[in-house]
Structure 1
Amino acid sequence: MEPPHPPPSSHDGTGDTGEGRYGEAVFPPERAGEDERIDLGALAYDETTLARLERLGAGPGWHCLEVGAGTGTVARRLLDRAGVESVLAVDRDVRFLSARPAPGLTVMEADITAPDFDPGRFQLVHARFVLMHLPARRELLARLAGLLAPGGVLVLGDAVDLTSAVAADTPYTRTMRAMWQGLKDTIGTDVTWVPEYPRLLREAGLTSVAAEMYVPPLLPGSAISRFWADTWSRARESMTATGLVDDATVTEAIRCLESPDCAELSAGLITAWGRRPGDGPSGV
């Protein structure tokens, strides 16, 4: 029998059940290897992200804000590859950012949910895998849009779960669903609303709104397969607490990721963007 799916929650964050915070209740940065886990996710998604940011015009003269910057891979590639003027990298814990300085990179330890968070105006504001972990997402999206200079672009990327009701019932899909439910129970993570990004960006007053999705292939030894294996190992307690999986199921799912016979879908990355009206940079 297929396990129950997580219940829907409201898109303004009021339906969230978890009261903890990312980096505290789950995935604490002081735990050994957490920076390596984050970097595995970056290896899986950075190329797609940077290609989109460059197509939107990110380049020389741009001042950029990277929200929830993690280990700083996107911020540094904006500087090194796209050649932007500067990047302000913001995170609630900046130990990984401070350990990897770069010319043009400024690090700020801050909470973007704080009422007084106002770091300036930017040609690019980018956040990936951030808003899905936070309550009051609609309000936060509007606040990030308010940090754009005229003509500036807001780019948001978050996960979409592809282990839906139509997916086969396997140890992998059960484990992926248990991860999302465990994160929801612990810190309020909710990815059910992510496909509404284009409408929410439009409601925030942005124009030229569009979106795309990327699903990295699950191949043995790939960055994304190693990322999920590490993530599930670290989140195993919250996952088994959901009652959707037991320890043996999680172990079997990790073995699936290591097998050339794995025939599953990773979570997708939905990237959506919109531009503040006014004269400024342009792109496609």
Structure 2
Amino acid sequence: MEAAPRDNNGSLALDPAWEHERLRLEMLAAMTDPATVEILDACAPDHPREIVEIGAGAGTVARHLARRHPGARVWATDIDLRHLDGGGLPNLVPLRHDAAVDPAPVRGVDLIHCRSVLIFLDDPQAVLGRLAGWLAPGGCIVVEELAGFPPYDPTTVVGGALDAVSRVLSRDAGADPQWVRDLMVDPPQPLVRHGLTDCGAQMRVYPFRPGSAASEFSRLTLEQLRPRLLGRGHLTAAQFEAAVSRLRDDDLAEPSSSVLSVWGHRPR
């Protein structure tokens, strides 16, 4: 799930009330969930009791965790719960919650996951420290961020459009690409600085293919941000429509979507 980033005036840069937002979140999940659940299944401690999914969105990862660990309580947290589907799972607990300011949902968390959340916060390093402090001894945190890989080439039709999206989210919503670069160090230094051990990292790249989840997620993100991209002169209408058309219809060699996953454990 992504956070709901706010622009400098406090309005949502990616509005959860947008008519196609649920579909956009489903495309993100379809693209990234297989790798996410593989990492979570490998990193989870034995017999976890308390799990926190931050930025649960539509709830796909939270539902997996609740099914995978029926003896655990899975806290599906988000600042906006309108798209959350708990699947009727008795051990999945929805919670309206802001990880940047609210206390931990429970003491001694065994597993924490967040995807495309920390990059939108004012001080992701400080929030990471808060989350690491929620972990029980032996507990694990998995942090994932979307990243352009390779960096979007602004001279191409789609690369220029996605570079404009990055500029909008950086300038309007405070997304900090340096945070992702910091996480790319081996081992991920933001985790090491908070005393986490057994740290690791993985980058998955998702090529753009017609009808693929990666292409549809990027196309829908462009559509969500259309008023900002056109109204503030980041793209012309012709540039915007050309990028949307290529994402919908073409097999693109580049650019591509990617997700960086990092993890670390609190020492026992």
Q: Could you tell me how far apart the structure 2 residues matched to 1:154 and 1:63 are? A: 12
- Percent identity, aligned pairs only, is 32
Contact 2:157 2:239 in 1 (8 A): yes
* SS of alignment partner, residue 207 of structure 2: coil
RMSD of equivalent CA atoms: 2.1
CA shift in 2, pair 1:84/1:228, >3 Å: farther
Measured in 2, the distance between the counterparts of 1:261 and 1:36 equals 21
Shift of 1:216: 1.3
Deviates more, 1:131-140 or 1:58-67: 58-67
Which range is displaced more, 52-61 or 219-228?
Answer: 52-61
Match among 180, 190, 201 for residue 176 of structure 2: 190
- Residue 67 of structure 1 aligns with an amino acid whose one-letter code is I
Change (3 A) 1:173 1:95: same
- Secondary structure (helix, strand or coil) at the match of 1:187 reads coil
1:188 is aligned with what amino acid?
A: G
Conserved in 2, the CA contact under 8 Å of 1:215 and 1:266? yes
Which residue number corresponds to residue 249 of structure 1?
239
State how far apart, in whole Å, the 2-side matches of 1:27 and 1:60 are: 36
Contact 1:236-1:247 within 8 A present in 2 as well: no
CA distance in 2, matches of 1:83, 1:237: 44
1:68 paired residue among 55, 58, 76: 55
Q: Secondary structure at the match of 1:151?
A: strand
Task: Determine if contact 1:163/1:177 at 8 Å carries over to the other structure.
Answer: no
> Aligned equivalents of 1:29 and 1:55: distance in 2?
31
Higher alpha-carbon deviation: 258-267 or 155-164: 258-267
Task: Quote the Cα distance in structure 2 between the aligned partners of 1:40 and 1:261.
Answer: 17
Query: Offset at 1:274?
Result: 0.7
Amino acid at match of 1:76: R
Query: Contact 2:209 / 2:215 at 8 angstroms: preserved in 1?
Result: yes
Question: Of the candidates 144, 147, 157, which is equivalent to residue 171 of structure 1?
Answer: 157
The code of the aligned residue for 1:94 comes to L
Provide closer, same or farther for how the CA distance between residues 168 and 179 of structure 1 changes in structure 2, counting only shifts above 3 A: closer
CA contact under 8 A between 1:58 and 1:82: conserved in structure 2?
no
1:117 aligned to 2:103? yes
Structure 1-normalised TM-score?
A: 0.84
5 Å-filtered alignment, 1:123-162, equals 123-162=110-149
Contact kept, 8 Å, 2:59 with 2:86, in 1: the verdict is: no
Shift of 1:60: 4.1
Match of 2:248 in 1: 258
Aligned pairs, number:
258
What is the distance in 2 between the residues matched to 1:99 and 1:61?
19
Structure 2 portions without partners, runs of 5+: 1-5
Aligned CA distance change for structure 1 residues 32 and 99 (closer, same or farther; 3 Å) = farther
Say if 1:277 and 1:20 are closer, same or farther in 2 by CA, change over 3 A. farther
Structure 1 residues not aligned, in runs of 5+? 1-16, 279-284
Contact 2:48–2:111, Cα closer than 8 Å, also in 1:
no
For residues 46-99 of structure 1, the C-alpha deviation after alignment (integer angstroms, 9 at most, x for no partner) is 000000011113564442100011111100011224556221011111122267
Alignment partner, residue 203 of structure 2: 213
Pair 20,216 (structure 1): closer, same or farther in 2 beyond 3 Å: farther
Q: Find out whether 1:86 has 2:73 as its counterpart.
A: yes
Q: Distance in 1 between matches of 2:94 and 2:40?
A: 20
Inter-partner Cα distance in structure 1 for 2:155 and 2:25: 28
Quote the residue 2:3 is aligned against: none
Tell me if 1:36 matches 2:26. Answer: no
Query: Whose strand fraction is larger, Structure 1's or Structure 2's?
Result: 2
Match of 1:229 among 200, 219, 222: 219
Rounded to whole Å, the distance in 2 between the matches of 1:41 and 1:273 is 20
Residue 217 of structure 1 deviates from its aligned partner by: 2.1
